[in-house]
Amino acid sequence: MTTLWHGRFAGGPAEELLAYTVSLPYDQRLAPDDLVGSRAHVKGLVRAGILDGDEAAAVFAALDQVGDELAAGTFTFVPSDEDIHTAVERRVTEIAGPPGAKLHTGRSRNDQVATGLRLYTRRMLGDVADRIIAFQEVILGSAEAAGDVYLPGYTHLQRAQPVLLSHHLLAHGWALSRDVDRLLATRARANVSPLGAGALAGSSLPLDPHGVAADLGFAAAFENSLDAVGDRDFVAEALFDLALLGVHLSRIGEEIVLWSSEEFGFVTLDDGYSTGSSMLPQKKNPDIAELARGRAGRLIGHLTGLMATLKGLPLAYNRDLQEDKEPLFDAFDQVLLALGALAGLVSTATPSVERMQAAADSPYLVATDLAEWLVERGMPFRDAHAVVGALVRDSIDRHVPLDELVAGHPDLGDDAVALLEPGVAVRRRRSPGGAGPDPVAIQLESFRERIEADRLRVEG
């Protein structure tokens, strides 16, 4: 078997070495990026006077053929193809002959893999941002459709105050906006070319890293060759962004699990987005929501795993860095699958308006409004809080409806009882960013604008 390093070695690689070090099964997905990087490198070699026009044409044609073979599934891998970079270069040399053997001039797999992985990451970060926005549009649609429907807002998972359903849905939407923001910031930092760093120290050949960086659409070229090949900050940042996105999707999942339970009964899931039980005929389970919750653990694991891999590495490239790919690829795969499944789940779910509003119509959820009503009539809030708290305690202890006690209280009376009418309290949440119809109408508009602006940022 011929390896890339056969000149220095008397014997071939051991079978166990190949089995343990091979990355081809998973890094094949970098093929398109490897080809793009290789084309830019060839152009750079022409500008440096290392390849002439005919040689470059032969290598370009071979790279095109390799791309076609890979796309068509006719590319034949051989046992010495330890990674996609090795495989592409081997095949280019087979096709193009001696000019193909010049492809790797001034280049190492260390800058090559860093280049391919940055191109891939840059693209995928945009794709994820795009899919988040598609999910945000689903959330926006549900929020618009929710109209004036309200439900209890919770703290400590105890009913606290009524909020509009649209307000609750948009709360998740804004968390996703921060995710989009983070992904785009990470994309900007990843947008630096490492090509031309060589194995670690640059080259004695007249290469121009800035030229190839420009050809690849990178915003800049590396400043330090050791950093260029040893840096995986962009992978760690991407994994953090995806893990936090996963945490947000997990929190959405957890609420769907709760809301679809018989105990809450706030939402009915569509059959197409629910599963049944193999044994219990009556069951309808929220498996998508549960997996969105469960896979967040896996995404967090990918982040912590890579951080542990990186923490002890001396400069510059170490083979440990090959461990960056599987977590990154899986994290991208998992969030894209989750976003698609959750978008379908949310867009097809039916809110149970009566259950939500009945749960929010408990007079105890209006306690704060009663206290604030007293505040508006001059009572210090701490005193008002005590007055209403005592009424609530009395109501619970003596099983007397709160409205009777409010009606009979000298500081409250019939005017205050009106606050206890269903739906009144939520309409009184008028402060900016609050949970009532007036601020939510404004919020819906700014969320819509935010999504539109983010779409342009993702494309730009």
Which C-beta is closer to ligand ARG: that of 122 or that of 428?
A: 122
Q: Do residues 352 and 265 lie in contact, with contact meaning Cβ atoms separated by under 8 Å?
A: yes
Q: How far apart are alpha carbons 109 and 123 in whole angstroms? A: 21
Half-sphere exposure of 353 (CA within 13 A, CB side): 7
CB 427, min distance to ligand ARG, A: 59
Contact window for ligand ARG (CB under 6 A) among 217-225, 258-266, 315-323, 374-382:
315-323
What minimum distance in Å lies between the beta carbon of 39 and ligand ARG? 19
Look-up of token digits 């070699």: 45
* 277 belongs to the catalytic site: yes
Interacting residue with ligand ARG among 39, 91, 102, 109 (CB under 6 A): 109
Pick between residue 113 and residue 384 the one whose CB is nearest to ligand ARG.
113
Is the preceding peptide bond at 236 cis, omega within 30 degrees of 0?
A: no
Cβ 24 to ligand ARG shortest distance, Å: 8
Is residue 260 part of the annotated active site? The answer reads no
- Distances in Å between the Cα of 203 and the Cα atoms of 7, 48, 206, 232, 419 are 20, 12, 7, 22, 77
Please identify, using beta-carbon distances, which residue of 285 and 318 lies nearer to ligand ARG: 318
Q: How far is the CB of 58 from ligand ARG (least distance, A)?
A: 25
Query: Which residue in 41, 80, 104, 156 is the catalytic one?
Result: 156
Give the single-character DSSP code of 268.
E
Among 322, 334, 357, 443, binds ligand ARG (CB under 6 A): 322
Closest contact distance (angstroms) between CB of 321 and ligand ARG is 5
3-state secondary structure of 198: coil
Residue 167 has φ and ψ, to the nearest 5°, of -65, -45
Q: Provide, rounded to whole angstroms, the least separation between the CB of residue 113 and ligand ARG.
A: 4
* Range in contact with ligand ARG (rule: CB under 6 A) among 106-114, 146-154, 294-302, 334-342: 106-114
Dihedral of CA 267/271/272/275: which sign?
Answer: positive
Counting other chains too, the contacts that 401-404 makes at CB distance below 8 Å and 24 or more residues apart are 401/363, 402/363, 402/364, 403/363
Q: Which residues pair with 155 in a beta bridge?
A: 158
Which residue from 319, 382, 398, 399 is in contact with ligand ARG, where contact means CB under 6 A?
319
- Nearer to ligand ARG by Cβ, of 83 and 330: the residue is 83
* Binding range to ligand ARG, per CB under 6 A, among 256-264, 318-326, 335-343, 348-356: 318-326
Closest residue by Cα to residue 434 from 163, 178, 117? 163
**Segment lying near ligand ARG (by CB under 6 A), choices 66-74, 109-117, 141-149, 409-417:** 109-117
Query: 395: part of which helix (H) or strand (E)?
Result: helix 381-398
Min dist CB 241 to ligand ARG, Å, is: 21
**The two three-digit tokens of residue 414, written as one number:** 């019939």
For ligand ARG, which is the closer residue by CB, 60 or 317? 317
How many CB atoms sit inside 10 A of residue 311's CB?
7
Residues in the chain: 460
What does the block give as tokens for 164? 């509009």
Output 87 or 143, the one with its CB closest to ligand ARG. 87
* Residues contacting residue 436 through CB under 8 Å, at least 6 positions apart: 164, 426, 427, 428, 429, 430
Question: In terms of CB distance, is 136 or 225 closer to ligand ARG?
Answer: 225
Q: Name which of residues 19 to 38 contact ligand ARG (CB under 6 A).
A: 23
Is the CB of residue 205 less than 8 Å from the CB of residue 105? yes
Return the number of the residue (113 or 170) whose C-beta is nearest ligand ARG: 113
Q: Which residue in 261, 277, 431, 446 is the catalytic one?
A: 277
For ligand ARG (CB under 6 A), the number of binding residues is 9
Q: Show the site string, 110-149: x = touches ligand ARG by CB under 6 A, - = not.
A: x--x------------------------------------
Residue in 62, 70, 245, 321 binding ligand ARG, rule: CB under 6 A: 321
Stretch that binds ligand ARG, among 52-60, 128-136, 317-325, 426-434 (CB under 6 A): 317-325
Minimum distance between the CB of residue 110 and ligand ARG, rounded to whole angstroms? 5
Q: Tell which residue, 249, 238, 128, 119, has the closest CA to residue 180.
A: 128
Restricted to residues 39-98, the positions that interact with ligand ARG (CB under 6 A) are 83
360-397 burial by CB neighbour count: b if 16+ within 10 A, else e?
A: bbebebbbbbbbbbbeeeebeeeebbeebeebeeebee
Measured from the CB atom, is 318 or 362 closer to ligand ARG?
A: 318
- Catalytic residue numbers read 156, 277
Residues in contact with ligand ARG by the rule CB under 6 A: 23, 83, 109-110, 113, 317, 319, 321-322
